[in-house]
Chains A and B, each alone.
Chain A
Amino acid sequence: MTKPNSTYRPQALSRRSLLRTSAAAAGGLAFGLPSVARAAGTSTLIVSMAGDMPSLDPMVRFTANSWRVSPNLYNGLTRFDADGTVQPDLATSWEADAETQSWTFTLREGVLFHDGEAFTSADVKATFDKMLDPETSAPYRAEMGPITSVDAPDELTVIFHLSAPFADLPSTLATSTAKIISARGIADFENITVKPYGTGPFRLVSFTPNDRLELEANPDYFDGRPELDRILIRLLPDTTAQITALRNKEVDAIADLDGSTAIDLASYEGVEVQEVPGGNFNNLVLLADRPPFSDNRVREALKLCIDREALADVLTESAGVVANDHPVSEVYRYFDADLPMRTPDLEKAKALLVEAGYPDGFEHKIVVGANPPAREKLAVLVQAMAQQIGINFTIEKMDNSRFLSTVWNKGTESYVGNYVTRPTADLILTKLYHAELGIDEGRWATPESNAILEEARATTDEAKRSELYAQFQEMAKNDGPFIISAFYNNLAANNDYVIGFPVHRIGLDMPLAKVTLADGAPSRG
């Protein structure tokens, strides 16, 4: 396991801080620069993405790329800033009742949809009525929280009624799947995949599914007209084509990168690689309801033989941080930085296996889906590390669809899961560990563990929540059913004339309203 170019990360860091400074400087110059840029022609930003973008639907039919794009076409009631803090968006303020069972949001006045109609509480109600309708099958409906209904008592007020106390509603409403669609858009929902009905800073010019998307500045945007006149999103699936296009200034930025491409790009002059911590991870699932992993000594033995540093470095291609067998990364509010990182201890691991009745180790199978390739990498590396204590893993690889429909969350086999950052620590913990509210992926939940999660999500008492989530992280680390060795950093790259290209810690949002182009940008009449 060789370490890739070790000068890369400090370099990227200094670039990033440099970028912040220059962004601030550009902010100061905002009165001078854009007029110059505009005089020279329209300012167009071209962003490339890999992967598919079949649809612009923010609610039901979306992909990662639709999420990236949606903050430009739509607004939510709230939004995340780059650091992952909740900010007002279409709502200006909000508060919960004493039991946290209903939330009241006050809406922004004077906001217009792209079709010129005014934004009101009726649009919010229409959006959430649609999402809550089981017929809609909105995939992330459950992850919005236990919403039962939405009321619109007057034009600028909405009330969310909940079936259980839920403190994180302002955060979950900040996600890309909770964008507000106009009541007319809800009525025309069958065209929502190609026709956006939003209030966002950019309006649709043209969209060819899975190929290109062109947007233009919305002059009536409530937060002021964006600096950019136009945005073009191009889908370039091939890495070589992507890198070449960036270097040739055929595109100005790449919205998603893997670690090795980032290392490659960082070596080119005029290219800035941006890297911020994230929360995506792969977990090796050790089913706790059947041997051999029903015995926590066996789970702990395996956790102890993992060389986390090495594993994290290879998995994330040097663009990630070490994880501690629980899914809460530093980007979440209730991350417990004081929980000590587990270090490898082979002697202790062997002793635990003997105690558990496996003096000669055992054989076990891990199933991996073919995508992303990190699933297989993780399995292969764990296989090599576990051999040291006599656990012999065999690896079975299969097509992703087959994996998802026959292995994932069936509770029958060990496999490697793949999860993206959720809006809150509560959502990822509840999803993976709670027996009723989530999937209890490791078949591990107990009434006690469920109770901790329920109590933590119900209270708005910050100190209490911190304490409960810290307790849960420790439990998950010491007793939990997953090996989680790394969190992936979020990466993007842009040519140095692009100022303020966003990379968020939480979620995939790529809001381009504040991006500007400096001297050196190619002129695109």
Chain B
Amino acid sequence: MPVRFFLRRVAFGVTSLLVLTVVIFLCTQLLPGDAATVLLGDTATDQALEEVRRQLGLDRPLPVQYLSWLGNALQGDFGRSMALNQSVSALVWPPFLASLQLAGIAFVSVAVLGIAMGVAAALAHGRKTDWAVLTVAYGGISVPEFVLGPLLILIFASPPLQLLPSSGAVSFSEGPGDWLRHMILPTATLCAVLIAHVVRQTRSGVLAVSQSEYIRAARLHGLPPGRVTLRYILPNALTTAVAVLALDIGYLMGSVVVVEQIFAYPGLGRLMLFSISSRDLQLVQACTLLIGTIYIFANLVADLVQGWLDPRIAERQA
């Protein structure tokens, strides 16, 4: 793997993160209201507001606020949450790990199921299986998370079925079985929305490749169909699917916010919603940075995987 390609990608990622923090900082300034107005609510008086702003450091000039935040952040100190009066690092980690589990399981399921379904559909091109796979996939993408989530709760968690818990989460260490049962509905909701992208890309990729000259040549040589599919079609067909998967991570993180709210899942999405509604600058910045890092990291991995699947890409970019 060309080192220059890798380094350029990393440098690009870090720059993006830095720009992101500035943009987020400015956005929170553009939003009307601040942590002080939220904290005091309908008991606010001008005098009390000023006092709280002074304590929270919101009375300092903007560049000073930003630079002092950045300086501390670079040393690993993300400050104290204004709304919760607790260290941001301590607040962010447990929900982050919880979200990582949820999103991770959803992502792996989407990747495995999506590619498998896409390949199955392509191989059965025009037949019943193809039709069925596409119907299921498009059905999922047509129903938004905030409809599908409650629907799944009503079907699978409510009487009479009551197969699964309706909401919440337990940690893996408390009991793997219980942990899994709590994961199924939120993960299913996330998968349903994303899987169509991957199915479609995989299916069209496989179709395009299997009609190419070299596949016909391989078939004419009498190679067994399974070998043709695995050795020659898939690696070439999957590059687009991998690109779509990387983009889907962004989409996934948006969906996670909604799904966590529906299923009362104690993750980063819920924390982020709270931090924005309480105008908690430090917390917003930390949540965004984490999500931004994942997104950039995911794209980096996707680039590398694509380069591995198709060395021409890495060579071109290096």
Which residues of A are interface residues toward B (Cβ below 8 A)? 52, 54-55, 57, 60-61, 134-135, 137, 139-140, 142-143, 190, 193-194, 208-212, 234-238, 240-241, 244-245, 247-248, 250, 399-402, 404-406, 408-409, 417-419, 439
CA distance A190 to B162 in the complex (A): 43
B37 touches A405 (CB 8 A): yes
B86 proximal to A (CB < 8 A): yes
Closest partner residue, chain B, to A239 (CB atom): B150
Closest partner residue, chain B, to A268 (CB atom): B159
B3 proximal to A (CB < 8 A): no
Among B159, B264, B266, B274, max chain A CB count under 10 A is at B264
On chain A, the residues within 8 Å of B287 by CB distance are none
A247 touches B274 (CB 8 A): no
Closest partner residue, chain A, to B280 (CB atom): A54
A238 touches B263 (CB 8 A): yes
Select which of B51, B154, B263, B278 is within 8 A of A134 by beta carbon: B51
A247 touches B40 (CB 8 A): no
On chain B, the residues within 8 Å of A57 by CB distance are 85
On chain B, the residues within 8 Å of A244 by CB distance are 153-154, 157-158, 166-167
On chain A, the residues within 8 Å of B51 by CB distance are 134-135, 137
- Of the A-B pairs whose beta carbons lie under 8 Å apart in the complex, a sample of 14, sorted by A's number, is A143-B43, A193-B84, A208-B94, A209-B84, A211-B270, A238-B261, A238-B262, A240-B153, A241-B167, A250-B165, A401-B31, A404-B37, A404-B42, A405-B37
On chain A, the residues within 8 Å of B162 by CB distance are 248
Q: Count of chain B residues with Cβ under 8 Å from any Cβ of A?
A: 46
Contacts known (A139-B40, A209-B84, A210-B270); A241 close to B264, Cβ less than 8 A:
yes
Listed from nearest, the 7 A-B pairs whose CB atoms lie closest are: A401-B33, A402-B32, A211-B266, A240-B150, A244-B166, A241-B167, A405-B33
B200 proximal to A (CB < 8 A): no
CA distance A143 to B38 in the complex (A): 18
Known pairs A209-B84, A406-B32; list 17 more (Cβ under 8 Å).
A54-B83, A137-B48, A137-B52, A137-B55, A140-B43, A190-B85, A212-B266, A234-B168, A236-B168, A241-B264, A244-B153, A244-B157, A244-B158, A250-B167, A401-B32, A402-B33, A419-B42
B158 touches A247 (CB 8 A): yes
A210 touches B274 (CB 8 A): yes
CA distance A25 to B114 in the complex (A): 59
On chain B, the residues within 8 Å of A208 by CB distance are 94, 266
B39 proximal to A (CB < 8 A): yes
CA distance A502 to B33 in the complex (A): 36
Closest partner residue, chain B, to A192 (CB atom): B85
On chain B, the residues within 8 Å of A137 by CB distance are 39-40, 48, 51-52, 55
CA distance A400 to B55 in the complex (A): 23
On chain A, the residues within 8 Å of B262 by CB distance are 237-238, 240-241
CA distance A140 to B45 in the complex (A): 11
B301 proximal to A (CB < 8 A): no
Closest partner residue, chain B, to A419 (CB atom): B42
B166 touches A248 (CB 8 A): yes
Among B31, B32, B159, B266, max chain A CB count under 10 A is at B32
CA distance A134 to B38 in the complex (A): 18
A234 touches B43 (CB 8 A): no
CA distance A237 to B157 in the complex (A): 16
Interface string of B240-272 (1 = CB under 8 A from A): 000000000000000000000111101000110
Minimum CB–CB distance from B28 to chain A (whole Å) comes to: 11
Select which of B86, B271, B274 is within 8 A of A193 by beta carbon: B86
Contacts known (A134-B51, A240-B154, A244-B154); A404 close to B264, Cβ less than 8 A:
no
A209 touches B43 (CB 8 A): no
B159 touches A248 (CB 8 A): yes
B197 proximal to A (CB < 8 A): no
On chain A, the residues within 8 Å of B279 by CB distance are 401
Contacts known (A402-B32, A405-B37); A236 close to B167, Cβ less than 8 A:
yes
On chain B, the residues within 8 Å of A240 by CB distance are 149-150, 153-154, 166, 262
User: Total number of A-B contacts with CB less than 8 angstroms?
Assistant: 134
Minimum CB–CB distance from B283 to chain A (whole Å) comes to: 10
B55 touches A139 (CB 8 A): no
On chain B, the residues within 8 Å of A140 by CB distance are 43
Minimum CB–CB distance from B259 to chain A (whole Å) comes to: 10
On chain B, the residues within 8 Å of A209 by CB distance are 84, 86, 91
On chain A, the residues within 8 Å of B165 by CB distance are 248, 250
B261 touches A237 (CB 8 A): yes
B91 touches A401 (CB 8 A): no
On chain B, the residues within 8 Å of A419 by CB distance are 42
B126 proximal to A (CB < 8 A): no
On chain A, the residues within 8 Å of B31 by CB distance are 399, 401-402
A248 touches B43 (CB 8 A): no
Interface string of B110-148 (1 = CB under 8 A from A): 000000000000000000000000000000000000000
B83 touches A235 (CB 8 A): no
A236 touches B264 (CB 8 A): yes
B167 touches A404 (CB 8 A): no
Contacts known (A193-B86, A234-B264); A139 close to B39, Cβ less than 8 A:
yes
Contacts known (A135-B55, A137-B55, A244-B166); A235 close to B84, Cβ less than 8 A:
no
B177 proximal to A (CB < 8 A): no
Minimum CB–CB distance from A486 to chain B (whole Å) comes to: 19
Contacts known (A193-B84, A401-B33); A241 close to B271, Cβ less than 8 A:
no
B226 proximal to A (CB < 8 A): no
On chain A, the residues within 8 Å of B37 by CB distance are 401, 404-405
A241 touches B166 (CB 8 A): yes
On chain A, the residues within 8 Å of B86 by CB distance are 193-194, 209
B41 proximal to A (CB < 8 A): yes
A139 touches B266 (CB 8 A): no
B264 touches A248 (CB 8 A): no
Contacts known (A137-B52, A238-B167); A404 close to B158, Cβ less than 8 A:
no
Interface residues of B in 173-226 (CB under 8 A from A): none
A247 touches B84 (CB 8 A): no
CA distance A143 to B44 in the complex (A): 12
B264 touches A399 (CB 8 A): no
On chain B, the residues within 8 Å of A139 by CB distance are 39-41, 43-44, 48
On chain A, the residues within 8 Å of B33 by CB distance are 400-402, 404-405
Minimum CB–CB distance from B175 to chain A (whole Å) comes to: 12
On chain B, the residues within 8 Å of A234 by CB distance are 168, 264
Minimum CB–CB distance from A416 to chain B (whole Å) comes to: 13
CA distance A85 to B167 in the complex (A): 38
Minimum CB–CB distance from A212 to chain B (whole Å) comes to: 7
Among B34, B86, B261, max chain A CB count under 10 A is at B86
On chain A, the residues within 8 Å of B168 by CB distance are 212, 234, 236, 245, 250
On chain A, the residues within 8 Å of B261 by CB distance are 237-238
CA distance A236 to B166 in the complex (A): 10
A247 touches B32 (CB 8 A): no
Minimum CB–CB distance from A279 to chain B (whole Å) comes to: 14
